[in-house]
Amino acid sequence: MKKQVLYFIFCLLTLNAMADDKQIQEVDSLLAKAREQLSAGQLLPYIETAIKTLDLANSINYDKGKAKARFYLADGLVTAGLFKEGLKQLEPIERTDYYKNEILMQSEVYRVRGKAYAELNLYQQSLRIFRHQLGLIKKLTGEYKKKSYQFTYASLVTIFNRMNKLDSVEKYSRLQLDNLQGFAEKEQTMLYLFIYDDLSLLYVKKGDLIKAQQYVDKALEIIVKYKIPVYYNTYMTLGSLEEKKGDLKKAAEYYEKVLENKRSVGSRNAIKNSYKQLADFYRRTNMDKAKADHYEMAFSRLNDSLQNENRQVVDQVLNQILKLKDQESESKVSKAATISIVILVLLLVAITLFIWRSKRNRKLLVQKEEALQETETINKELTEQIGENKFNTLIDLAKSNNPEFLILFTELYPQFIQALKSFDANLRSTELEFCAMAFLNFSTKNISEYTFVTIRAVQVRKNRLRKKFDIPSDVDFNNWMRELAGTSVSPLEPKG
């Protein structure tokens, strides 16, 4: 009997290990897919794949998969402009064993953190992070070391350009050139082109037009030699160079060619920037007021369109993050169920072995029951605790119109969000945020002030939601929201 039970447990563990191996292969395959999406510039699919991978890696507790998937998610969020949310995703990575043992992962986490700080205009913090990264890169070897140096030097050039520290721009541009000595020019043409563009623009700013022309010529040589189709940065520098020389007609020709190249490439954001640059150039030089007005109008139209698209992307990304929160919560419930099943199996085994060793098993059973009771007590205490600090943070996020408000609100009041979604599973995050503010009993005036819209706009949105949820006109909107999930939570007080 005892041997049969042990054999059963062995078979169970073997089947579980085989299932885990299959899921580990699936995680690795998804990570490869995410890298391909990043290379293709597919930002939203990249983030969605990272979330899917992270959920699967969490379910099997695959440490390497958890670290890499969350890193891709953080990188995607920072690229999408959600810098604070991206920084939050980096923190759990540092608790994984994979991060602690892999210097390359440590270096990459520093790179994304430094990039986020730079985009938040926290230049000193960003520089400090990148200097830490340079220390880590020294411990790498081979191609990883050279590539990491290259990307870090490029990031530093960008930051120092924004700070207008031209000597530092020159230093790190030349370090990039030195670092490229180990690579064949044919394999790294774009890196060479970027560096020559940076140096030529640097010398235009410094007023050294001879050196500027030398590096522009190097860039043009690479463009012609390797038939590079994207050359608008080089032509932008040529335009600046001619403008410095005083040949405004020739400068205008180059600036117009920049726009033409951006159109052929199809980069709408780059085209928008060219419209603004051309409008400023024609207005600043008094060359052609009609063209200045034309490009100003084109810029305004395209900028409005891109901003609307960006808002939609951010909205989708935030929805994905909310889904991730839901998935992680479900995963915890699933783990708890698995643990319960394992405990049940162990109890059955203990009962079976009781026939053979009654005294010893009786002792073990008592110990297990005490452990279970203690676990239940701890779980009950944890479930009942929602800190006052979290609620105060929630109110501050609402008042500052911070996109993280909805994420924390969903954590504190999941029943309310679920009740809303039962009416319409496709509610937008902006609608959820509005209902959340009403649930917290913010007045129409408060909502108008915190979301930077007119009181009339708030009233219109309330009327739309009344129709969507079929709320009678004589029922108070805020009271209806608080009563929706069948909760007795007081206004502006989190559920305990």
pLDDT mean over 441-456: 91
pLDDT mean over 326-333: 60
Phi, psi of 70 (to 5 degrees): -70, -30
Q: What is the Cα–Cα distance from 234 to 205, expressed in whole angstroms?
A: 15
Of 19-28, 316-325, 345-354, the poorest mean pLDDT is in 345-354
Q: What is the pLDDT of residue 401?
A: 86
pLDDT band for position 72 (cuts 50, 70, 90): very high
pLDDT mean over 19-23: 80
Phi, psi of 288 (to 5 degrees): -155, 100
Q: Is the pLDDT of residue 465 over 80?
A: yes
pLDDT mean over 204-214: 94
pLDDT mean over 453-462: 92
Of 20-34, 298-312, 321-335, 454-468, the poorest mean pLDDT is in 321-335
**DSSP class of 490:** P
- Cα torsion 203, 154, 193, 256 to 10°: value is -70
Q: Is the pLDDT of residue 372 over 50?
A: no
Of 325-334, 345-354, 390-399, 453-462, the poorest mean pLDDT is in 345-354
What does the block give as tokens for 115? 């990039």
Burial of 445 (0-12, 13-18, 19+ CB in 10 A): exposed
Q: Is the pLDDT of residue 225 over 60?
A: yes
pLDDT band for position 34 (cuts 50, 70, 90): very high
Q: What is the Cα–Cα distance from 162 to 164, expressed in whole angstroms?
A: 5
pLDDT greater at residue 202 or residue 359: 202
Q: Where are the alpha helices (DSSP H) in 40-139?
A: 43-60, 63-79, 83-93, 97-101, 103-119, 123-137
Alpha carbon of residue 440 to chain centroid = 28
Q: What is the Cα–Cα distance from 17 to 146, expressed in whole angstroms?
A: 39
pLDDT mean over 452-480: 91
Q: What is the pLDDT of residue 11?
A: 46
Q: What is the Cα–Cα distance from 412 to 416, expressed in whole angstroms?
A: 9
pLDDT mean over 24-28: 94
Instruction: Tell me the pLDDT tens digit for each residue of 280-315.
Output: 999 999 999 999 999 999 999 999 888 887 677 677
Query: Of all residues in the chain, what percent carry a pLDDT higher than 70?
Result: 80
Q: What is the pLDDT of residue 315?
A: 72
Instruction: Tell me the pLDDT tens digit for each residue of 246-264.
Output: 999 999 999 999 999 999 9
Average pLDDT score over the chain: 83
Q: Is the pLDDT of residue 377 over 50?
A: no
Q: What is the pLDDT of residue 439?
A: 92
What does the block give as tokens for 112? 């994304």
pLDDT mean over 37-53: 89
Q: Is the pLDDT of residue 19 over 90?
A: no
pLDDT mean over 149-178: 93
Q: Are 103 and 140 in contact (CB under 8 A)?
A: yes
